[in-house]
A and B are shown apart, each in its own frame.
Chain A
């Protein structure tokens, strides 16, 4: 099978990034880099529904946390095997637990995908605003459930022990970084593929005029459900390795508002109609945030994101990509 050029380039870029980050042998680069790459996944995922279909999801944090908490639940289950399963089947469970991280990522994706589908099914037949409000609601419901569920740590949070080393790579942090980098490649390839497929044209038709799309035979509900499921699943996959990254997962950090805000702000600042938009927005905003968090304070950093978000939606509705495109068109006209 011939590998499409874009996929190849994306993989090569990812490998180059990884090798370059390894050169100075500074662990912090991976810690900071992980956050930024994680947001590439989140903002691209948000954009599949928000940018392509025009449906706003305020619940990125919920889908992300769902992925993170499926990992926590399975990890806790793994450590308490002997108390939880009958002795007769215990050896079998001991064989597969602890589950490898790639499997956990897939599970997190499936769980979030199902919840995305469910939320979409309940609310997408109504006006767009209802879906947005329901996603806001979803984060609070899920947070309440987690806070009251002692098995995953309740309101106090849960510890997940991160192995010190990963064979063949060195530190476990590098392994985590490599995984999230892989997810970023996956989501970018997926987003670009959607853009150029029938699915993407259907999405664009919904975004521009849903009634007209419906009238011309676009199966709008089905397409919207596909978009919510894909978008939710990617967010869940981004969340699954997070407990290992952070080491200690509390509901407040997993459901943090900054996930919802960043995954909306990054695509809107970068540009929503193109796969490159979320990528550019994330790299700019993510780097800026890392710098301000270190140099000023994290409160100022979130304020900055909010102000930038408001400024961009008012002044540059098509984001940075839109600005560049306008500039190019103006030059061509000359």
Chain B
């Protein structure tokens, strides 16, 4: 039997496009979990929230989903800073982040999901935009625009975060806070303020990822759960807090998932990321590009 090469190549390309999107989904977690050491398992809830807001404005006012989330990202930023403030005062300050902080974010994830369920119901929701539907064909390659646009958008977003972290004072302070809080205080920067800003950014990024998500696939409230394992798998595989590592890991996971879905059926795809996560934790907990 011939090995279906065009199928394989298409699976790899689809995986790379998916991986680009995963990078945007994980970027927020890389900041909050990787750099700030805040185990925000509620992160996917904010992604789904972003998706639903994009959906709401798209259906009622025909606004482009990406534009909606871009305009609303300051709101999400504020939401993020607010949540961090509660988290800091209730858990971090008292040194209880490990047990109760985790339970707190779990509660946030859960409450957001049920609220969306009560407001929008369990039906799958999708958006309408000019780039959903058509594909570009190059030789044997099929490039659906609904994958290409989120991927390119994600990569731009990802690049912007990388630039922010490497070249601005605040961005470098975020890196510093993950390494040595005390030293940062000596540089006259307030670690709590820096963490608040960084956490706000991570939530704003989540909302943007939400807009990309609803372009790629229809969304219902519990979709977020699938992403918990995925984002943490990528984050850990990439080496906590390493942005280039996150990108590589996201692409890798995208390709593995896409190949699994193509050759073994899509019902196996969710297990891939979790399998990767468990294997990484067991054999190389510092990740691919870990420090």
Partner-B contacts on A (CB < 8 A): 50, 54, 56, 58, 122-123, 126, 128-130, 132-134, 136-138, 140-141, 143-145, 147-148, 155, 257, 261, 264-265, 268, 272, 299-300, 302-303, 305-307, 309-310, 313-314, 317
Interface residues of B, dominant DSSP: helix
Closest B-chain residue to A264, C-beta based?
Answer: B103
The reply to whether B118 and A303 form a contact with Cβ atoms under 8 Å apart is yes
Known contacts A50-B99, A122-B281, A126-B285; A299 and B271 CB within 8 A of each other: no
Q: For residue B270, which residues in chain A have a CB less than 8 angstroms away from its CB? A: 140, 143-144
Partner of B118, one of A130, A299, A305: A299
State the CA gap A257–B228 with chains docked (Å).
Answer: 13
Q: For residue B10, which residues in chain A have a CB less than 8 angstroms away from its CB? A: none
The reply to whether A134 and B277 form a contact with Cβ atoms under 8 Å apart is yes
User: A58: shortest Cβ distance to chain B, in Å?
Assistant: 7
| A/B interface sample: 16 pairs, CB < 8 A | A56-B103, A129-B33, A129-B98, A132-B41, A133-B232, A137-B278, A141-B271, A141-B274, A155-B267, A299-B117, A302-B110, A303-B118, A305-B110, A309-B107, A313-B104, A313-B107
The reply to whether B281 and A126 form a contact with Cβ atoms under 8 Å apart is yes
Q: For residue A272, which residues in chain B have a CB less than 8 angstroms away from its CB? A: 99
Partner of A136, one of B100, B107, B222, B229: B229
Closest A-chain residue to B228, C-beta based?
Answer: A136
User: B278: shortest Cβ distance to chain A, in Å?
Assistant: 6
Partner of B104, one of A126, A137, A145, A310: A310
Q: For residue A128, which residues in chain B have a CB less than 8 angstroms away from its CB? A: 98
Partner of B110, one of A56, A132, A306, A314: A306
Question: Once A and B bind, how many residue pairs between them come within 8 Å at the CB atom?
Answer: 121
Interface residues of A, dominant DSSP: helix
A123-B278, A129-B33, A138-B274 given. 10 additional CB < 8 A pairs?
A: A54-B98, A132-B41, A133-B232, A134-B277, A136-B41, A140-B225, A305-B110, A307-B111, A313-B91, A313-B100
The reply to whether A145 and B271 form a contact with Cβ atoms under 8 Å apart is yes
User: B194: shortest Cβ distance to chain A, in Å?
Assistant: 21
B222-233: contact bitstring with A at CB < 8 Å (1 yes, 0 no)? 100110110011
User: B135: shortest Cβ distance to chain A, in Å?
Assistant: 29
The reply to whether A313 and B281 form a contact with Cβ atoms under 8 Å apart is no
Q: For residue B273, which residues in chain A have a CB less than 8 angstroms away from its CB? A: 137
The reply to whether A122 and B282 form a contact with Cβ atoms under 8 Å apart is yes
Q: For residue B275, which residues in chain A have a CB less than 8 angstroms away from its CB? A: 141
The reply to whether A261 and B110 form a contact with Cβ atoms under 8 Å apart is yes
Q: For residue A129, which residues in chain B have a CB less than 8 angstroms away from its CB? A: 33, 39, 98, 102
State the CA gap A303–B289 with chains docked (Å).
Answer: 40
User: A308: shortest Cβ distance to chain B, in Å?
Assistant: 9
The reply to whether A133 and B277 form a contact with Cβ atoms under 8 Å apart is yes
The reply to whether B100 and A317 form a contact with Cβ atoms under 8 Å apart is yes
Closest A-chain residue to B226, C-beta based?
Answer: A140
Partner of A137, one of B99, B114, B115, B274: B274
Known contacts A132-B41, A140-B271; A306 and B111 CB within 8 A of each other: yes
Known contacts A58-B106, A309-B103; A137 and B86 CB within 8 A of each other: no
Partner of A133, one of B41, B86, B226: B41
Chain B interface bracket (under 10, 10 to 19, 20 to 34, 35 or more): 35 or more
User: B83: shortest Cβ distance to chain A, in Å?
Assistant: 11
Closest B-chain residue to A121, C-beta based?
Answer: B282
The reply to whether B274 and A140 form a contact with Cβ atoms under 8 Å apart is yes
Query: Does residue B262 face the partner (Cβ distance < 8 Å to A)?
Result: no
State the CA gap A265–B99 with chains docked (Å).
Answer: 12
The reply to whether A56 and B267 form a contact with Cβ atoms under 8 Å apart is no
The reply to whether B229 and A140 form a contact with Cβ atoms under 8 Å apart is yes
* List of 6 A-B pairs having minimum Cβ-Cβ separation, nearest first: A144-B271, A306-B111, A137-B274, A310-B107, A309-B107, A306-B110
The reply to whether A261 and B274 form a contact with Cβ atoms under 8 Å apart is no
B249-291: contact bitstring with A at CB < 8 Å (1 yes, 0 no)? 0000000000000000001101101110110011001000000
Query: Does residue B94 face the partner (Cβ distance < 8 Å to A)?
Result: yes
Query: Does residue B96 face the partner (Cβ distance < 8 Å to A)?
Result: yes
Known contacts A136-B228, A136-B229, A317-B94; A141 and B111 CB within 8 A of each other: no
Residues of B90-124 contacting chain A, CB below 8 A: 90-91, 94, 96, 98-100, 102-104, 106-108, 110-111, 114-115, 117-118
Partner of B108, one of A54, A134, A310: A310
User: B186: shortest Cβ distance to chain A, in Å?
Assistant: 25
The reply to whether B278 and A257 form a contact with Cβ atoms under 8 Å apart is no
State the CA gap A272–B102 with chains docked (Å).
Answer: 15
Q: For residue B41, which residues in chain A have a CB less than 8 angstroms away from its CB? A: 58, 132-133, 136
The reply to whether B267 and A148 form a contact with Cβ atoms under 8 Å apart is yes
State the CA gap A132–B110 with chains docked (Å).
Answer: 16
State the CA gap A265–B118 with chains docked (Å).
Answer: 21
State the CA gap A132–B105 with chains docked (Å).
Answer: 12
The reply to whether A314 and B86 form a contact with Cβ atoms under 8 Å apart is yes
State the CA gap A310–B281 with chains docked (Å).
Answer: 29
State the CA gap A134–B90 with chains docked (Å).
Answer: 25
User: A78: shortest Cβ distance to chain B, in Å?
Assistant: 27
Closest A-chain residue to B272, C-beta based?
Answer: A144
User: A301: shortest Cβ distance to chain B, in Å?
Assistant: 9
The reply to whether B106 and A264 form a contact with Cβ atoms under 8 Å apart is yes
Q: For residue A302, which residues in chain B have a CB less than 8 angstroms away from its CB? A: 110, 114
State the CA gap A23–B278 with chains docked (Å).
Answer: 51
B55-76: contact bitstring with A at CB < 8 Å (1 yes, 0 no)? 0000000000000000000000
Q: For residue B281, which residues in chain A have a CB less than 8 angstroms away from its CB? A: 122-123, 126, 130, 134
User: A260: shortest Cβ distance to chain B, in Å?
Assistant: 8
Q: For residue A264, which residues in chain B have a CB less than 8 angstroms away from its CB? A: 103, 106
State the CA gap A307–B107 with chains docked (Å).
Answer: 7
State the CA gap A272–B270 with chains docked (Å).
Answer: 33
State the CA gap A130–B280 with chains docked (Å).
Answer: 11
